[in-house]
Amino acid sequence: MSDCDRCIGTAHVCARNVPIFASLNEAGLAVVNSLIRSLSYEKGELLFSPGDVGTHLYIVRSGRVKLYDISPEGRQQIIRILSQGDFFGELTLFQHTKQFCYAETMEPSGVCQLRQSDFKELLQQEPKVALALLEAMSARLSQAESFISDLTLKTVEERLISWLLMKAQTGARLGNEVEITLELGREELAQFLGTTIETVSRRLNSLQADGILTLYGHRTLVLHNVEELEGMLHS
């Protein structure tokens, strides 16, 4: 981890790219800029662990960060993957609780930190930021409820199909087909879906054998018929 001073003196890239700060004018962005500490991390560095006291709001400036927990058997369960503009660590700022999971960089990443006291004062001064934060946290709660439902009620194949359909929404349309670039490797995808890498590979190969998709290496695939995939989920 190292300090980064590339953004000093400008409207901070963290503030500009975070939806909860979108309502701020240049003066407001300058205030956030003055409060933020910008850090750089190598791949695999921990930002916090379960039991750590929450003291900052974290904002991903570049790269990717994963939030995860580890089962008593040692299996890693990814909770959320964050990229540029995403924030995390907000729950401990309001509940005075300790961190419940690990936060680890998945690649070289830039992360900005905003102290608890500064963030609370900012919310008091900028009601629009407080409202945007509430909206973002509500969306995350909805996603968390859906995520828990998937883990407990759906099979591994159904969870994989749900994930593919979600990725298809932002994929590249090629007529009736959709090209998807996978930001997760097989192991990371398995950890996100709550299964093993072998199971993920078998399910993907099975979908390819059935003509549902075509795999191109480990990072790209093409869905040939999204409606057919949706039908598999709801049949």
Average pLDDT of the chain to the nearest whole number: 86
For range 123-142, the mean pLDDT = 85
Kindly indicate the confidence band of residue 202, based on its pLDDT and cuts at 50, 70 and 90.
very high
Residue 44: burial class (beta carbons within 10 Å; 0-12, 13-18, 19+) = exposed
Domain extent listing, the chain: 2-153, 156-234
Q: How confident is the model at residue 13 (pLDDT cuts 50, 70, 90)?
A: low
Q: What pLDDT score was predicted for residue 44? A: 96
* 132-160: average pLDDT: 81
End-to-end CA separation in angstroms for the chain: 49
Residue 10, pLDDT score? 44
DSSP state of 12: -
Coil vs helix vs strand at 110: strand
Adjacency order of strands within the sheet including 177-181: 172-174, 177-181, 220-223, 213-216
Exposed/middle/buried for residue 211 (C-beta within 10 Å: 0-12, 13-18, 19+): exposed
What fold, for 2-153? Answer: Jelly Rolls (2.60.120)
Is residue 105's pLDDT more than 90?
yes
CATH topology of domain 156-234: Arc Repressor Mutant, subunit A (1.10.10)
- Record the tokens describing residue 64, joined without a space: 């990717």
Q: Could you give the CA distance from residue 3 to residue 39 in angstroms, rounded to a whole number?
A: 4
Spatial strand order of the sheet with 46-48 comes to 46-48, 102-105, 65-70, 76-82
Is it the case that residue 177 has pLDDT exceeding 60? yes
The DSSP symbol for 224 reads S
pTM score, whole prediction: 0.74
Q: Is the per-residue pLDDT at 7 higher than 80?
A: no
What number of other Cβ atoms are within 10 A of residue 214's Cβ? 14
> What pLDDT score does 2 carry?
63
Say what the pLDDT of residue 199 is: 94
Higher pLDDT, 49 or 141: 49
d(CA 69, CA 65): 13
Instruction: Write the burial class of residue 47 (CB in 10 Å: 0-12 exposed, 13-18 middle, 19+ buried).
Output: buried
pLDDT digits (tens, 9 = 90+) for 214-226: 999 888 999 998 8
What is the tens place of the pLDDT at every residue in 20-54?
888 888 888 888 888 889 999 999 999 999 999 98
Q: Is the dihedral of CA 119, 122, 124, 128 positive or negative?
A: negative
Asked if residues 224 and 164 have their Cβ atoms less than 8 Å apart, the reply is no
State the DSSP string of 140-181.
HHHHHHHHHHHHHHS-HHHHHHHHHHHHHTTSEEETTEEEEE
Residue with tokens 């660590």: 89
Average pLDDT over residues 137-162: 81
pLDDT (average), residues 139-147: 77
